Amino acid sequence: MILCANPKFQYLSKKKLIISSVLRTLNSNKYVIGENVVKFEKEFSKFIGVKYSASVANGTDAIELGLKALGVTAGNEVITVSHTALATVAAICSVGAKPILIDINEKDYLIDHKLIEKNINKKTKALICVHLYGQTANIDKIKKICIKKKIALIEDVSQAHGAYFKNKKAGSYGVISTFSFYPTKNLGAIGDGGAICSNNKNIINKIRRMREYGWDKNRVSTILGRNSRLDELQASVLRIKLKDLNKDNNKRRLIAKKYLDSLNSNKIILPLIRNYREHVFHLFVIRVKNRNKLLNFLKKNNVFAGIHYPIPIHHQPAYKKMLKKKVKLPITEKLSKEILSLPIYPELSLKKVDLICKLVNSFFK
């Protein structure tokens, strides 16, 4: 059986180191905001190429607390895409702001920067740029638009840990950037986790207070906050995995190259890798017209592909009601019926990738 993602295999590949680190943490008698969290935040900031980071309980909280730290509230609008994990939009709604959902580029499935300016108005406070599937959006152009229009640029990097745009890593362009460490991510915990990165010390300090009830040094709540802390055990695991992240991303690229070289049907649209971008292939997403038939064919052959994402957020019942007026996103809607995520993770052998390629090719013969 070949799963679309298999975080257990990564645990097994680093089992001795992880267990040793977890045992040290258990014996430390410090389980929340201790040495591992402090060191991980410094190490992760250095990896991304920013000055500061604040860890939180999960990726959704990272976006929500980031928005709050930037002053986004009820009455504000935040531009983003419908073709993303639900967390991106859920966080906007959680702060009381209105998500303005725009379409994506059909070639790379990322936010279409040409649609941004016409959706900006006096209520627009921020834009969340999602770096989807492991490739960065055209962040240079998007950043220029945000500066020109005086709105905050937030990067959602939950699927692109270690990806580059030109000579800088994803997560180093925005006023803030947010990350998820869900187990299947390129950098995944054994449980939930998240982080916010920034070069603005005041923003990070505010987030660090908000993640602990708005406490100051004397544990007095001087601002509103709540409980959203990355625990020491998860931080200890993330520190181990971070050391190998570049190596693991290179393994993903090797698997992606095997797919790109071996999938030979003209009925398959393969991922486009843009110039000046270094893809880290969180997912390897193809497009086919008869997606569900291929999905079932692979399943019958013990290959479990995925769909990211089958129902666009503007078609989800809860958000459809909240958006009020009908949102038309033709490219997003078209792609949602055609995309298929083939298995990819660092521990997946090229032999198994070859088997998947042969199955897919045989389906189209």
- Angle, helices 59-69 vs 201-210, to 10°: value is 120
Question: Do 320 and 224 share a structural domain?
Answer: no
- Total of domains in the chain: 2
The predicted structure's pLDDT at residue 323:
80
| Three state DSSP letters for the chain | CECCCCHHHHHHHCHHHHHHHHHHHHHHCCCECCHHHHHHHHHHHHHHCCCEEEEECCHHHHHHHHHHHCCCCCCCEEEEECCCCHHHHHHHHHCCCEEEEECECCCCCCECHHHCHHHCCCCEEEEEEECCCCCCCCHHHHHHHHHHHCCEEEEECCCCCCCEECCEECCCCCCEEEEECCCCCCCCCCCCCEEEEECCHHHHHHHHHHCECCECCCCCECCCCCECCCEHHHHHHHHHHHHCHHHHHHHHHHHHHHHHHHCCCCCCECCCCCCCEECCCCCEEEECCCHHHHHHHHHHCCECCECCCCCCHHHCHHHHHHHCCCCCCHHHHHHHCCEEEECCCCCCCHHHHHHHHHHHHHHCC
Question: Residue 124: what are its φ and ψ, rounded to 5°?
Answer: -70, 120
Token pair for 354: 């070859």
Q: Which of 66, 146, 59 is nearest to 111 (CA)?
A: 146
Q: What is the rounded distance in angstroms from the CA atom of residue 270 to the CA atom of residue 201?
A: 41
State how far the Cα of 157 lies from the Cα of 283, in Å rounded to an integer.
13
228-263 residue pLDDT tens: 999 999 999 999 999 999 999 999 999 999 999 999
Q: Are residues 57 and 106 in the same domain?
A: yes
At 242, list the tokens.
């971070």
Q: How many CB atoms lie within 10 A of CB 130?
A: 25
pLDDT at 322: 78
**Average pLDDT of the segment spanning 212-231:** 96
Whether 35 is covered by a domain: the verdict is yes
Same domain as 185, residue 62: yes
Same domain, 20 and 53: yes
- The answer to whether residue 2 sits within a structural domain is no
113 and 23, same structural domain? yes
> Is the domain of 278 the same as that of 184?
no
Mean pLDDT of 20-34: 96
Quote the percentage of the chain above a pLDDT of 90: 98
- 301 and 190 in a common domain: no
Whole-prediction pTM value? Answer: 0.97
Judge whether 254 lies within some domain: yes
175-208 residue pLDDT tens: 999 999 999 999 999 999 999 999 999 999 999 9
Mean pLDDT of 272-297: 97
Instruction: Compute the distance between CA of residue 300 and CA of residue 305 in angstroms, rounded to an integer.
Output: 11
User: 210, 227, 243: which is the final residue of a domain?
Assistant: 243
Q: Specify the CATH number for the domain of residue 304.
A: 3.90.1150.10
Task: Show the tokens assigned to 298.
Answer: 């692979």
pLDDT, residue 30, reads: 94
Please check whether residues 127 and 191 belong to one and the same domain. Answer: yes
* Domain extent for 339: 245-363
Selection from 344, 346, 240 nearest residue 15 by Cα: 240
Q: Which residues of 77-91 are buried (b: 16+ CB within 10 A; e: fewer)?
A: bbbbbbbbbebbbbb
| pLDDT (mean) for 94-101 | 97
Rounded to whole angstroms, the Cα distance separating 6 from 357 reads 19
Q: 105 and 184 share a domain? A: yes
Tokens of 223: 């601002």
Those residues whose C-beta lies under 8 Å from the C-beta of residue 300, and which sit 6 or more positions away, are none
pLDDT exceeds 70 at position 324: no
CA angle 110, 116, 122 (to 5 degrees): 145
| Per-residue pLDDT reduced to its tens digit, 122-155 | 999 999 999 999 999 999 999 999 999 999 999 9
Share the mean pLDDT of the chain: 97
Task: Report CA torsion sign: 203, 209, 213, 215.
Answer: negative
Structure-token pair, residue 39: 């060191």
CATH of the domain at 19: 3.40.640.10
